[in-house]
Structure 1
Amino acid sequence: MNIEIIEIPKREDYRGNLAIIENDTIPFDINRVYYLFDVPSTSHRGGHAHKNLKQLLIAVSGSFDVVLKTPKETKKITLNKPDKGLLIHENIWRELENFSSGSVCLVLASEVFSEEDYIRDYADFLDYNKK
């Protein structure tokens, strides 16, 4: 599965930590930034794949689970450290669940929003991967 955990460089001192994302931290140019917050613990987010877009997901506060699927495998990764990001390449189904109270999911994306890039139905995702 084309995912990886990215270590986000940080500076530590007695005043607290500073995480730094610059040009060489992630393998794509950032064209969109958004974040999820105040998500009820029973809610599910995501539920789609992207044809071309790459994303880095970071739990800047709290924790949540990311369920990742390809036609051949499923993985669940818990994000709970603000200095670690989950890099998800294109054509991977993702679902976010199990949000802790006060959690914030920061998303850095390689592309601006384009509805044409989304696959929102899992059966369509499986069909898309038969090509």
Structure 2
Amino acid sequence: MNKTNKQQYVTSVYDTSLIRFPKILDPRGNLTFIEQERHIPFKIARVYWIYDVPGGEQRGAHAFREQCEVIIALSGSFDVMLDDGSAQKIVHLNRPYHGLYVPNMIWRRMQNFSTNAVAYVLASCPYEKEDYLRDYDTYKMLMREGK
């Protein structure tokens, strides 16, 4: 992990985007698929999901130095609060054929989970504890220095 390259810190909430995955309508049930090279802007190294979130709880509240993610509401809905240290944006996810692309160095917090919501996350890196930035003040300082 290259933590000294300040170029990686020049990201903004405006670099996030909503990806629309193919949706095949069928009276027996709809189908959506993801192909790594075609729909995801990075090589998928890890997949995880968040579920059974108690009412009022939040997930995330961190940024990654290197990891990029695509977050999908497979079931139910939730909000993703995005923050780059100077601008904020909230994205409501509630469709299993939409994915939110979040590049590295964007602070994110997931909140307002509906009952039975499932957040499915595609990540560009394997789990590395050192990649996480969990202190917001440290994050803001790094963003100021990187810009």
How high is the TM-score relative to the length of structure 1?
0.97
What percent identity do the matched residue pairs reach? 43
Residue 102 of structure 1, aligned match among 116, 119, 123? 116
Task: Give the CA deviation at 1:41.
Answer: 2.1
* Structure 1: distance between partners of 2:70 and 2:133: 18
Give the aligned residue type for 1:19.
Answer: T
Secondary structure at 2:55's aligned position in 1? coil
CA RMSD of aligned residues (A): 0.7
Q: Residues 1-131 of structure 1 correspond to what in structure 2 (within 5 A)?
A: 1-23=14-36, 24-131=38-145
Structure 1 residue 130: Cα displacement: 2.1
Higher helix share: 2
Which 4+ stretches in 1 moved above 2 angstroms?
A: none
3-state SS, counterpart of residue 96 of structure 1: strand
Unmatched segments (≥5 aa) in structure 1: none
| Distance in 2 of aligned mates of 1:5 and 1:49 | 18
Unaligned runs of 5+ residues in structure 2 are 1-13
Between the aligned partners of 1:36 and 1:53, the Cα distance in structure 2 is: 17
Query: Normalized against structure 2, the TM-score is what?
Result: 0.87
Count of matched residue positions in the alignment of Structure 1 and Structure 2:
131
Distance 2:140 2:85 in 1: 6
SS of residue in 2 equivalent to 1:59: strand
